[in-house]
Chains A and B, each alone.
Chain A
C-alpha cells in the first residue's frame, strides 16, 4: 500500500463505503453516525497506509470499523446513563431510522459481540470465511459455527418479541 495516493484512496472509499456502512449501521443504528464512523475508519487507515499489507487491507478496514462502532455505541450509552442529553442528542432516539423496528434493533443489540460481528461480516460485508477469520482473529471453522449460533439466537429473540418468526 506504499504508493496509494489520495485519488485512489477515495476510489476505494467509494467501493467499500456501502458494505462498511451497513455493518456499522447495525451496531449504532444511526445513518449520520454510521457514515461518520466509516469515514473515520478510512482516515485512520490512511494515516497508517504505508504499513498496511494489501492482502490484509479489507480485514483491517472492517475490524477497525467494528471497533469504532462499538466504541461509539458505548460512549452513547454512557452519555445516556449520566443523563447528559444535550451532548450529541444521544438520549433522543427520534433521529434513529425507522428502517428497522425497535424489537429488531434490540435483537441485534442483545447478541454477544463475538457472534454479532461474525453475523454482520458474513451477511453484509461480502467477505469470505478466511477474510472474516483474519479480521476477527479466529479460526475459519469458528466463523461458520458462530454464524449458525448468531442466526439461531437472533431468530429466537425475534420469536419471543413476536416479530414474524414464521417467515424464517
Chain B
C-alpha cells in the first residue's frame, strides 16, 4: 500500500444530499431543544419564586412601628418654620409673646441699625 492508496478519495454513501436537505427542513420546523425548554421552565419558576418572595416579605401596615405610624405626614414637616433657613425660605414674622411669672409681659422693640438683629425690651 502506498501513500496514494492511503489518501485515495472514497465515495460517500449515496443519497447524502437528499438526506441533508431533509435534515435542513427538520431544523426549520424543529421545536426548541430540550435544554432550551428546561431553561425556559427554570426561568419561569425563578420568576414566580421572586414575585412570591417580594409579596411575602413586603412590610404591611400592621408591621409598621408605632413611632413611625404616629409621625405626622411629611407635608407638615416641610411646612415647619424651623426648616425655613434650611430650605432657603423667608420666615414669616410672628407676634412675639413673652411670659413672666405666668403672665404675659409687655415687650417693646428697640430699633437697631442691623435689620437681621432685633432687640426687645421687656417691661
Using a CB–CB cutoff of 8 Å, the interface residues on chain A facing chain B are 6, 9-10, 13-14, 17-19, 21-22, 25, 31-32, 34-35, 38-39, 42-43, 46-47, 99-101, 104, 123-124, 151, 154, 158, 163-164, 167-168
If the complex has contacts A10-B21, A168-B3, are A124 and B12 also in contact, measured as CB distance less than 8 A? no
Q: Give Cα A43 to B9, complex, Å.
A: 23
Contact residues in B for A46 (Cβ distance below 8 Å)? 24, 27
Q: Give Cα A164 to B9, complex, Å.
A: 20
Please tell me which one of the listed residues B3, B10, B17, B27 contacts residue A10 in the complex, with CB atoms under 8 A apart.
B17
Chain A interface, >50% SS class = helix
Closest 10 pairs between A and B when the two form their complex, measured CB to CB: A21-B12, A167-B2, A123-B7, A39-B20, A164-B1, A14-B17, A13-B20, A10-B21, A35-B12, A35-B13
Contact A10 B6 (CB under 8 A): no
Any A CB within 8 A of the CB of B16: yes
Any A CB within 8 A of the CB of B109: no
Kindly count the residue-residue contacts between A and B in the assembled complex, taking CB atoms under 8 Å apart. 68
User: Which residue among A38, A39, A100 has the maximum number of chain B CB atoms within 10 Å of its CB?
Assistant: A39
Using a CB–CB cutoff of 8 Å, the interface residues on chain B facing chain A are 1-3, 6-7, 9-13, 16-17, 19-21, 23-24, 27
Q: Give Cα A101 to B3, complex, Å.
A: 14
Contact A17 B16 (CB under 8 A): yes
Contact B9 A104 (CB under 8 A): no
Apart from A31-B13, A35-B16, A39-B20, list 13 A-B contacts with CB within 8 A: A10-B17, A14-B17, A22-B9, A38-B16, A42-B20, A43-B24, A46-B27, A123-B3, A123-B6, A154-B6, A163-B1, A167-B1, A168-B3
